[in-house]
């Protein structure tokens, strides 16, 4: 946590990662590019989701850090702006919230 806070305050780490994602887009003649999926974009995506969401396995969905074989090597939504795609944020069931001591309003 201390390392992240230092990197964020000194170098604006999350913005550097987001810019890296935005720079990793093809530019076809139509003007609507697609993300280039490679090892770096996958790792940046994983880090950005970890930075942008809080909680444990019942509160967020973390993307894989590996590419898969086949037609869709990375089925996860790529993060290039905040807020994160809703795909990564899980809706915590009401029963789970009350078991953990969080009171309903």
pTM over 0.75: yes
Q: What is the pLDDT of residues 6-15, one digit of tens each?
A: 999 999 999 9
Mean pLDDT (whole number) for 74-84: 93
Contact 66, 4 (CB under 8 A): no
Q: Which residues pair with 60 in a beta bridge?
A: 89
Note the pLDDT of residue 98.
55
Phi, psi of 60 (to 5 degrees): -145, 160
């Amino acid at each position: 946590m201390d390392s992240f806070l230092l990197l964020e305050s000194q170098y604006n780490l999350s913005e550097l990662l987001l810019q890296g994602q935005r720079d990793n887009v093809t530019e076809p003649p139509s003007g609507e590019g697609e993300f280039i999926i490679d090892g770096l974009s996958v790792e940046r995506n994983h880090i950005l989701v970890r930075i942008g969401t809080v909680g444990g396995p019942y509160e967020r969905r973390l993307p894989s850090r590996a590419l898969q074989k086949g037609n869709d090597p990375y089925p996860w939504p790529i993060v290039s702006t905040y807020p994160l795609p809703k795909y990564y944020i899980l809706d915590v069931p009401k029963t789970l919230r009350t078991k953990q001591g969080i009171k309903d309003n």
